[in-house]
Structures are given as structure tokens and as C-alpha cells.
A and B are shown apart, each in its own frame.
Chain A
Amino acid sequence: MEQQGSIEGAVLSLTDVAFGYPGEGEVLHGVDLELAAGERVAIVGESGSGKSTLLHLAAGLEAADRGKVHLTGKALAGLDEAARTRLRRSRVGIVFQSFHLIPTLTVLENVMLPLELATDLDAAQRRERAARQLAAVGLGDKGGREPEQLSGGEQQRVAIARALVHRPALILADEPTGNLDSRTGEAVFGLLLEQVRATGCALLLVTHCDDLAGRLDRVLRMQDGHLQDLAAEASAT
């Protein structure tokens, strides 16, 4: 089976991946990336360099034009939309720059959502686990509020709780501090790292900020659709 072999043990693997938006030409050219379990990797780069696109491909939100994407050993290329969705909801948690909380649900319900979609837990168990996760990000007392009633930093903490609550193997974070002031951003970033470490999942984070990126295990730079490993380049020079 394909999931065996070189990608065995990798949470995420991209091999020679290319992608372009219709009418816009290719954005990613032959990207290779491998992420081990528990590994925390940052991707930096300029706006429009393809960082977020890489994240979308990793989540199965877009399909690669060329190359292979494996998520926890499973090739995405062979999966239809529904199967990709099932894989994503069980193995991946996503943190967006603009939070993407569901405004029609309370904070607690937002956190319960992945459990309802991805697990067989009953309502009481879902509620209990979501409350615990919410408490872990410091918002145990705000479960009954609506997202609009929270500050930006609090909303992003809810998003982190929601991304982690169903114990995914991989967290994909797209500029998680991009919409926050520097102090709040720092705090949220610290919380994200702490939670990722606590749950043992891998993290692929896209950011503009070299300082934040430097605190992760590995930093990759996306430039003109190519991915470069900065540490490897530095050791080579």
C-alpha cells in the first residue's frame, strides 16, 4: 500500500506538489515537505508566495494539480470530496487568521462542533470534553457567550480550543496572530504552542513573523512557489 514506505510515520507529506488557481498560473511549483508526528514547522514568506495555498492543499480544501499529498499516510489524490472531508475532520484541526467561529453558536457549542462531526461521543461527553478544552485555553467561564461578545484574542483562543478538542494528529494554523495586536498575538501564540505540546500533535504554521517562526522546530521559507529549508541552507553554507 502507498501509505507504507518513505512516508511511513509522517503526519503530512507533500511530494513534488504543484498547484495553480484557474486563470492565474501556477502558485506552487514542485513542493516537497514532510512533517513527523509531534513536529512543529513554520512556513514564512511574503504575501502571495503560496504559504496559505500550501496549507489548503495539506488540509484537502484544494486538490493538487500535480504531485502527491499524504495526510497521516493516506493519499488525498485518490479520495473524493466526502472522503477527504472525513479524513480532515478526524486528523486535522485548523486555526484561521480571522477565527472563523460560527456566530450562530455559543462559544462552547463552537468547541463541541468538531466532536459532533468527527466522533461518536454522546452529547454529555461532547459537552464535558469541550468544556475541559475551553478551560485549558482559559475561557472556562465564557462557554455560554456568543463569539461576537468576545475580544479578538479570546475568539482566537476559542478557535485553538476548537482545533484541538477532537485530538487531531495535525494542526494547521494560518497566520493565527495576524488579526491581533502584538501583545495579544504573543499570548495566543504561546497558548497554541503550549496546547500543541500538551496534546502531542504536529503543527504546521504559516506566519509573516520570523520571531514567532523561530520558536518552532523547523522554519521553511516559501519563495515564488518553492519551499526552502532555511536550516538546511544555513548548514550547507
Chain B
Amino acid sequence: MNSLLVKAWLRDWRRRPLQRLLTLVGVVIAVAVVLAVDLANQSAQRAFDRSMDEVAGTATHQILGPARGFDEAHYRDLRLAGWRDTAPIVEGPARLPDGRTIYVLGVDPLAEGPFRGAASDIGDAPVQRLVTEPGTILPPSGWWAGSGMAHEDGLTLETTAGRFEVTLLDRAAERDEPAVEADDEGGSLWVTDIATAQTLLGRPGRLDRIDVRLDDADIDGFAELLPDGLELVPVAARDQASRELAQAFRINLTAMSLLALLIAAFLIYNTQTFAVLRRREVLASLRLVGAGRRALFGVVMLEALLVGVIGTLLGVLVGMGLAQVLVGQVAQTVTDHFFVVAVTEVTPRPLALLAVIALGVGLSLLAALAPAWEAARAASPGSLGRGRLERRARRGLRGLAVAAVVLLAAGGVMLLLGTGGLVGSFVALFLLITGFVLLLPLVLAGVLRGLARLGRGRTLPRIGVRSLERSLSRSAPATSALTLALAAAISVSVMVGSFRDSVEQWLGQALTSDVYVVPVAPAAARSGARLPADWGETLARIAEAESVSTGSSQDTPSAVGMIDLYVVEPHPVWLDYLPLLRAEATGEALDRRLRETDAVLVTEPFAAHHDVGVGDRLEIRVDDGRRMFEVAGVYRDYGSPQGTVLMLGERFYAGTAGAEEVGSFGLRLPDDVDAGAVIERLEAWLAERETAAMVTRPGDIEQESMAIFDRTFAITHLLRVITLLVAFIAILGALMALQMERAREFATLRSLGLLPGGVRGLVVFQGAVLGGFAALAAIPLGLGMGWLLIEVINREAFGWGMDLRWPGREIAETVVLGVGAALLAALIPAWRMARMRLVPALREVP
């Protein structure tokens, strides 16, 4: 390629650094957001997988028994029968002195070989010590760095069984290796010998499960060996639900990042086309001196390639930084809802890096393609005139509108047919969004024409509106970008706001006790934590309670795989408070049905995930083995995204000795009892027992639940802010482009007597018109997106239903935000235009 040609084209970078900077910023942000979300997702996914694998290991099946565990003799019997690929497990939460909760995994290091990496190396000195020295424990290697503790230090662990002094072992110290960096992604899993775990977790002589590795041919024979009360369950069934849900959460995040990408694409397109059109006189001159079409096309694309490469490289750096922020939030969400994970490092996958680089460079090239083609195919320098290009852009509006209608129809049909599951719903949503956005230029042109007509006789506003209309190729993409960002803000507000209101309302209904006594454990591990069932009477006496309820969550096998079963001994008239959506009876009749027959209630997500409804029958494993239960009703519940089956204790323990342990106690107090005093008395009693249990009030639980809720959606808010930032830059770029193109016009107006303040006012007015249009267009789009997120995507992903809340305040905020962003973006070009030197601008080629 001719080097002078390249020089002539690229020297503009020195002349207009701000414009080029905006082009770069578009690519940087687009790449950074997409990469950051991908990195955060992947890192959290790896942590999630590792945590799942550390617990489940390479087992193909698990032997499960009653919730309180089963006799360890069964394990001995299996080994004696020759089944060597078996490993016993006792697991549960514990609390560190600093209040943090950990997960204790009790294993038999001698049997661990084929299962887990963590404690399998029996030749390793600390692992050997786990077996030979009771009370020793291996914290995750990443924990040491910030702990201030050293190898062989003592530490007090608190569990529901009491307080215990343990000795910490560090593999690295024992091997004389350097300390491990804090990169351990299974950071909450503490491994100990099974005997120590039994003591710590109050399960002497009992196991929670036995991991087994079986060939397909052995499965049936093995299952027959098991005594009554024990069941062989495939591992996949156990964690499938969690994996699917974590995936749904990630798809939601990826969709948000793709939305940011779509907005960034507008920004890149806008700045790239402007970068070319701005230099059309250079193009014209180059054509005049004999530069060929191919050469011009090449030089424009070369610049786009440069912008793409530089912007993408910078974007990768920014994205890595942003990922560090996001990954913590993603990991926290997974921890809150699915499993305890800790991620402290983001590691880009080479493939993801390559994909994002291709994306950034590709997007830049794609955005430059149209203007480069335009530049190259111009038959004469004159045909590159702005007016001609704009007329062509206006002629293209109809084509866009036709494409928009096709996309809207395709999206609508996909939604109606409900094909493709969650991904299909997102594709439909994106088709609808793209269709709507493609309609915007036509609508904007119509609105601007209408405004110009209204402004007849008011010369200056008319100039402002008509110059926007005449620069539609510039103003429409910027407005679309802002509309998209604002619509995303509205839709997220609608979804999160509706969700939050529904959760708050549900918590108010679900928490029917005045005081709760619960084990200390993180939300995700709480189902594994237990308190002695015989505390009930004592607690009721101390609290002078009217009634005591108990509840225990447990993973249990069923006909539809492992399910979350919530076994309750409720307060009287509990059904009055339960938000039933569908039921075969109500009140006392339903209560009788649940107490006297094998019937259960299921939550809305459970019904959605397993496609069950009132009247359907489910085989569920209860205390004495599997029995058939009929679904008597579906109720609203946001406690578990996997869904829950609610069963009364008398059905679960029918024919057995009853519960030895429960997950929590709820105490209902008489009106005249001072709850504060009751809590003090209960806390004093608990302190004597030295167990990791605590007393909470509904308000505390509500507060904790809402905090978890807010953490879950913090990342969506963050992405929303980034999206708005991209849109702000888009509108800033568009207004700057518009004003620079109209510099000669402004100079003429100034020479005719328009004051500098008048110029500022005119530019700000244009910003307000674009911002106002974007805000108004964003309202229907945002509400539609919000509705789809709630009614289609959220149901598809989580099965949660919620009441749609009219987001009046958020809409008002969005309008203010949109107009505000546009006005703010208008300030820089307004200031520049008001300060420009008139004579050089007057001399500009029209």
C-alpha cells in the first residue's frame, strides 16, 4: 500500500486526537465488559466445579441414608464384602473464631485414593497425621496467607455440637515448601479425618454418606447389598440441579454483557463512520490525484484494524481488572445460593481471550466496512458530499423498518412457541430488542420532522431539530445506544424491583414465629446443620412460648432425583400464612390432608423444574424408605431456586422413632411477653451448651435474606452502570461529531449575531431532544424487556413467579437519567462550539 496514502489518512489522528480517542474507548469498553463477565463466569464456574468435585470427588454413586446419618458399620461391611472403591464421608459447617463459616469434610484418608485429591496422599506426612492424631485438620492452602496462623497452631472451631480445639496442619510447611499463594479456589473446604469430623459435627459412629465408584455392570448387584434405609444414588443426579441453576445465573450475566456489547457496537459504528466521513475531503483529494478505489478501501480498513487491535489490547487489560471486581460478586452469589466457593484469582482461558480479541477487532472492521465501501465506491469526489450520504441514509430507513418487522415477528413467534429453553428465550428477547432498535431511526426521523413543523417561526429550535434530522446517520445510532441502555436500566429495575418486593412480602408471610433458634452456618450450608430435637420443650419453657415449630431441610432421593425436602412441625393455623398458589383444599382441610395422608406441598420453582402440579404423585425417600406422596398444593417460595418439597414431620417420620435433630426452632410468643428478654434468656441457655447456635428474630432473617438478595443483583447494577457509561460516550461522540460537522453553520450563525450562549443553548437543546427521545423510547422497550425477563426468562431459569410492580419511580429516574446523560454529553461540544474561532470555521469546505 502506498505509504503516502496511509500517511495522508492516518495523520488525522494527530489533528483530532479526541475523536480518535472516542473510537478507541468504544472498542476498549466493549471488549472489557465482555471479557470481564466471561472471566468472572469461568472462574466462578471452575471454583464451583472444584468445590463440587472436592466434595463428590470422582465417585459415580453415593450411598445415602436418613438425614441424621447412618451407622458407620455399614461402611465396614462393604469393605469386608470386597468393595474397596468406597469412601465414607461426614460433612457439615463450622465457625471460625473470626466469625467466618467453613465447611468440614471428614474423610478416611486410607480410602480416599481414587476419590479426591485433597486427602488422598497418605504418604504425605500431614495426611498421615490426620489419621494418627485426633483433632488435626487441613485448612485449604489459600487460607493460610491472611490468617496469621502457622502450622501446628491450635484453633477453636464452633459447631452445633459444641466448641472444639483443633490443630492446624499445613502441607507446605511440613514439606518445607514455600507458602502457597492465595489462589485456592476451593477455599472453604477443610479436610479432616472421619473420626475427628464425627466428633466435631456431633455424629459419633455415624456417616452422612459413602462415596462409591461403580461400573455399570455392578450397579444392580451393589444396590441389592444395601440394607433397608440406605439408598444408592448416582452422583450426577445430586449436583445436576445446582449445576443447571448456576448455569442459568451465568447465562443471565452473559446476556447482560452481550447487551453492553450491542450498545458498544453502536458506539464503534458511530465513531468509525464519523472518522471516515469527517475526512471525506481527504478522500476526495486522494481520488483526484489518482488513488484507486481498492487503495482507499484498504486504507480505511487498515485504520479500522489499527483501532481494533489497539482498542482490543487495552480492552483486555481493562477487562482483566474489571473481572477482579466481578468475580467476587459472582462467587458470592454462587455461595449464597448454591455452594460455598471462594475465588481470588481470575485466569483468562486462551480460547476466551482469542474469542474476545476476534470480537473487538472484528467489530471494528465490521463497523468500518460500510463507510469504507462508501468511500471507495464514490464515483467522484462530489458524491461523497454529506448531504448525499444523508439522503442515502434516509432512503435506507424503509429497509431497516422492514428488517425490524421481520425480527420482531421472529422474536414473537419464538416466544409464543417457547422453543429452545432459556437460551431460546434469550435469543427471542434479543430479536425483539434488535427489531425495536432498528425501528428507532424511522421513528426518530418522523419525530424530528414533526418537531420541526411545530417549530415553524422559531428559527433557532428549528435549526437544532432539522440539523439532527439531516444528520440521521449520526444521531440515530447514538439515540439507539442510549435507548438500549435506558431500556436495560428500566427492565432490570422492573425485574429486580418486582422480585425484591415479592421476596420481602414472602418473607413477611413465611416467618411466622417471633423468635428463631438456628445453627450458625452460611445460607447454602444451613440445610446440613442440625440442632438436637429434644431442645424444643426446654426452649418453649424458657421462652414461655405459645407454640414451637421446627423445620429441617435435607437433600433426599426421589423419583425426580435428589430434592430439597423441608420437613416441618408447624405452628397451628400455619396454612393461613402460606402463600398458596394452587391447592386441592385450604385451611383445616388441607392441614388434615397433609397430616393424615401421604401428601406434600411443593414450591413454585419445584413445580416448574420438575413439571409437577396438584394431584401428581411423587416417590420420595423418607425416614423409613421410599413412599409415594401426592402433591396437594403449590406455594410461592423464594427460599431455594432449586425448589423445595414441604412435608409435615409426622408423615416423614411415620413409623419411625421421630426426629433426633432439627434444622431450626421457631417460637411463637404471647403478645404480652417481652421478646428482648426472651432472647437474652435463650442466649444464656445456649451459651452454657457451647454450640454454634444462635437466636434470631424475623427481622434479622429478613435483613440477612435481603442482603443476600441485594448481593445477587449487585452485579446486574454494576453492568447497568457500565452500559449507561457506554451509552453516554456514544451520545457524547455523536453530539461532538454533529457539532464538528456543523461548525461552519454555527460560525455563520455567530457571524449573523448569535451569542456564544445561544450556541451553547442550541447544542444543549439538541442533546435534550436526543436524550428525551431516547428516554421516551426506552420506556416501552424497557417495560417490555422487564415483563419478558419476569414472565418468560426468570420462570425459565429459576421457576420463580413474581408480581409485576409498576416501576413509576424508576421510569421517572430513567427519563431524568437519559435527558441528564444527553445534556451532560452535550456540555463538552457546547463549550467547544461556543469558544471556536469563527474565521477558520467559516472557511471550512461545506
Q: Are B466 and A104 touching (Cβ within 8 A)?
A: yes
- Stretch with Cβ within 8 A of A (4 or more), from B65-73, B120-128, B183-191, B741-749: B741-749
Q: A82 and B755 in contact (CB under 8 A), knowing A104-B463, A104-B466, A105-B463?
A: yes
B839 within 8 Å of A (CB atoms): yes
Flag if A105 contacts B839 (CB, 8 Å): no
Interface residues of B in 423-455 (CB under 8 A from A): none
Residue numbers in B under 8 Å from A123 (CB-CB): 457-458
Stretch touching chain B among A8-16, A30-38, A83-91: A83-91
Tell yes or no: B751 within 8 A of A by CB: yes
A89 touches B752 (CB 8 A): yes
A56, A90, A109, A112 — which one has the most chain B CB atoms within 10 A of its CB? A109
Given contact pairs A56-B839, A98-B846, A123-B457, A114 touches B462 in the complex (Cβ within 8 A): no
Determine how close the nearest CB of chain B comes to the CB of A108; give it in whole angstroms: 10
Give the shortest distance, in Å, between A123 (CB) and chain B (any CB). Answer: 4
Q: Which among B460, B469, B751 has the highest number of chain A CB atoms within 10 Å?
A: B751
**Closest B-chain residue to A162, C-beta based?**
B752
Asked whether, in the complex, the Cβ of B839 is within 8 Å of the Cβ of A61, the reply is: yes
User: Which residues of B (739-771) have their CB < 8 Å from a CB of A?
Assistant: 744-745, 748-758
The reply to whether B748 and A88 contact each other, CB–CB distance below 8 Å, is no
Query: In the complex, are the beta carbons of A61 and B466 less than 8 A apart?
Result: no
Whether B459 and A85, one on each chain, are in contact in the complex, defined by CB atoms closer than 8 angstroms, is no
Given known contacts A61-B839, A96-B842, is B459 in contact with A105 (CB within 8 Å)? Answer: yes
Candidates A88, A89, A90, A116; contact of B460 at CB < 8 Å: A116
Count chain B residues whose beta carbon lies closer than 8 angstroms to a beta carbon of A. Answer: 28
Chain B residues with Cβ under 8 A from A118's Cβ?
A: 753
Please name all residues of chain A whose beta carbon is closer than 8 Å to the beta carbon of B595 when the two chains form the complex: none
Question: How many Cβ-Cβ contacts under 8 Å join chain A to chain B?
Answer: 74
Alpha-carbon distance A117/B463, docked complex (angstroms):
13
Smallest beta-carbon distance B463→chain A, Å: 5
> Does the CB pair B753–A86 fall under 8 Å?
yes
A100 CB within 8 Å of chain B: yes
Most buried by A among B460, B750, B752: B752
Bound Cα distance from A103 to B753, whole angstroms: 17
In this complex, the member of A90, A94, A117 whose beta carbon has the largest number of chain B beta carbons within 10 angstroms is A117
On whether the beta carbons of B756 and A81 are closer than 8 Å, the reply is yes
Bound complex: CA of A140 vs CA of B359, how far in Å?
A: 57
The reply on B838 being an interface residue by CB < 8 A is yes
CA distance A88 to B469 in the complex (A): 30
A56 cross-chain contacts in B, Cβ below 8 A = 838-839
Given known contacts A104-B462, A105-B463, A123-B457, A62 and B839 CB-to-CB distance under 8 angstroms: yes
Pick the contact of B752: A109, A117, A127 (CB < 8 A). A117
CB pair A61–B838 under 8 Å, yes or no, is: yes
Would you call A102 an interface residue if the criterion is a C-beta within 8 Å of the partner chain's C-beta atoms? Answer: yes
Query: Which residues of A lie under 8 Å from residue B387 when comparing CB positions?
Result: 103, 148
A196 to B: closest C-beta gap in Å? 18
- Pick the contact of A109: B462, B745, B755, B757 (CB < 8 A): B462
A residues 96-151 with Cβ under 8 Å of B?
96, 98, 100-105, 109, 112-114, 116-118, 123, 127, 148
When each residue 59-85 of chain A gets 1 if its CB lies under 8 Å from chain B and 0 otherwise, what string results?
101100000000000000000011001
B467 part of interface (Cβ distance < 8 Å): yes
> B711 in the interface, Cβ–Cβ < 8 Å?
no
A102 and B754 within 8 A (CB)? no
- Smallest beta-carbon distance B830→chain A, Å: 15
Q: Which residues of B contact A116 (CB under 8 A)?
A: 459-460
The count of chain A contact residues (Cβ–Cβ below 8 Å) is 31
| B74 contacts partner chain A, Cβ-Cβ < 8 Å | no
Given contacts A82-B757, A104-B470, A148-B387, contact A59 B460 (CB under 8 A): no
Which residues from B are CB-within-8-Å of A109? 459, 462
Instruction: Give Cα distance in the complex from A90 to B466, angstroms.
Output: 26
A151–chain B nearest beta-carbon distance, Å: 16
Measured in the bound complex, the distance between the Cα atoms of B757 and A89 in whole Å is 15
With A61-B838, A62-B839, A96-B842: A102-B753 Cβ-Cβ less than 8 Å: no
Q: Is the CB of A100 within 8 A of B842?
A: yes
Are A102 and B749 CB-contacts (below 8 A) given A56-B839, A109-B462, A123-B457? yes
CA distance A56 to B841 in the complex (A): 13
Q: Check B839–A114 contact: CB distance below 8 A.
A: no
Return chain A residues, CB-CB under 8 Å to B839.
Answer: 56, 61-62
Give the complex CA separation of A86 and B756 in angstroms. 11
Contacts of B470 in A (CB 8 A): 103-104
A86-B755 in contact given A98-B846, A104-B470, A109-B459 (Cβ < 8 Å): yes
Per the bound structure, the CA–CA distance linking A86 and B750 in Å amounts to: 10
Q: A127 to B459, alpha carbons, bound, how many Å?
A: 11
Residues in chain A near residue B846, CB distance under 8 A: 98
Contact call A105/B753, Cβ cutoff below 8 A: no
Shortest CB distance A173–B (Å): 13
Which interface residue of B459, B469, B756, B838 has the most chain A CB atoms within 10 A? B459
Given A103-B470, A103-B745, answer yes or no on A85-B755 (Cβ-Cβ < 8 Å). yes
The smallest C-beta distance from A115 to any residue of chain B, in angstroms, reads: 9
**With contact pairs A96-B842, A100-B744, A148-B387 given, residues A85 and B754 touching in the complex (Cβ less than 8 Å):** yes
| Contact present for A117 and B756 (CB under 8 Å) | no
Does the CB pair B748–A102 fall under 8 Å? yes
In whole angstroms, how far apart are the Cα atoms of A62 and B840 in the complex? 11
A105–B466 contact, CB under 8 A?
A: yes
A-B pairs with beta carbons under 8 Å apart, 30 shown: A56-B838, A56-B839, A61-B751, A82-B757, A85-B754, A86-B755, A89-B753, A89-B754, A90-B753, A94-B751, A94-B752, A96-B748, A96-B842, A100-B744, A101-B748, A102-B745, A102-B748, A103-B470, A103-B745, A104-B462, A104-B469, A104-B745, A105-B463, A109-B459, A112-B459, A113-B459, A113-B752, A117-B754, A117-B758, A123-B458
The 9 closest A-B pairs by CB, nearest first: A89-B753, A104-B466, A117-B753, A100-B748, A123-B457, A61-B838, A104-B467, A116-B459, A104-B463
Residues of A within 8 A of B (CB): 56, 59, 61-62, 81-82, 85-86, 88-90, 94, 96, 98, 100-105, 109, 112-114, 116-118, 123, 127, 148, 162
**Known interface pairs A61-B839, A81-B756, A104-B462; 20 further A-B residue pairs with C-beta atoms within 8 A, sorted by A's residue number:** A59-B751, A61-B842, A62-B839, A82-B756, A88-B751, A89-B753, A90-B753, A96-B748, A96-B842, A100-B744, A102-B463, A102-B748, A104-B469, A104-B470, A104-B745, A109-B462, A113-B749, A114-B753, A116-B460, A127-B457
